[in-house]
Amino acid sequence: MIKRFHETGLDEKFISNKKVYDGRLLKVEVDTVLLPNDTETTREFIRHPGAVAIVPVQDDGRIVLVKQYRYPMQTVMWEIPAGKLDHGNENPDACAVRELSEETGYTAKSWQRLISIATTPAFTDEVIYLYKASGLEKHGQHTDEDEFIGVKAFTVEEIKKMITEGELFDAKTLCALFACDLIK
């Protein structure tokens, strides 16, 4: 979980909120706040329900990655499987099990929660809970109707080369691989 800290000389005080956009995934809001020097300003930010991301490690040590087209980046990207928490405070552990199965077709016998990350705290409240899954068993991939996902397992050396060559640059994936101590 993410700890919250406060400091009198740095904290901003909430004055008011305006909801600007309420989409399927994201909600955009603008808050008016009072700065520590008593100046009013606005903070634009995106509300996000949170997400999970999983490093699936096969018995031979290979890591399962998924690839999909990421529209904002205008490219196909290699990533670890991940997905958003359902609105209404879905348990991250349950979400991780669901997302691994949906995106890759694998189930796992062993789960380890690694760390939680704030993806881009300057403009969103999104937190991603990172996991490592092992003892994998292959079943059938069952993605959402708007998801088109390729699945492939890579050795650690192949992944290191992908990182070095700029083929793997997704932040949650890099954080999770480092948290697993798989990439040094």
Q: What is the spatial distance between Cα 82 and Cα 163, in angstroms, rounded to a whole number? A: 19
Catalytic residue among 137, 145, 157, 165: 145
**What tokens were used for 28?**
């955009």
Token look-up 């300057």 returns 122
Strands (E) in 35-184, as ranges, are 40-47, 51-57, 63-70, 75-79, 82-84, 106-118, 127-138, 150-154
Half-sphere exposure of 46 (CA within 13 A, CB side): 16
Rounded to whole angstroms, what are the CA distances from 70 to 81, 115, 116? 13, 24, 22
Give yes or no: 145 in active site.
yes
Give the residue among 134, 122, 124, 48 at the shortest CA–CA distance from 83. Answer: 48
Contact 125, 117 (CB under 8 A): no
Residues annotated as catalytic are 145
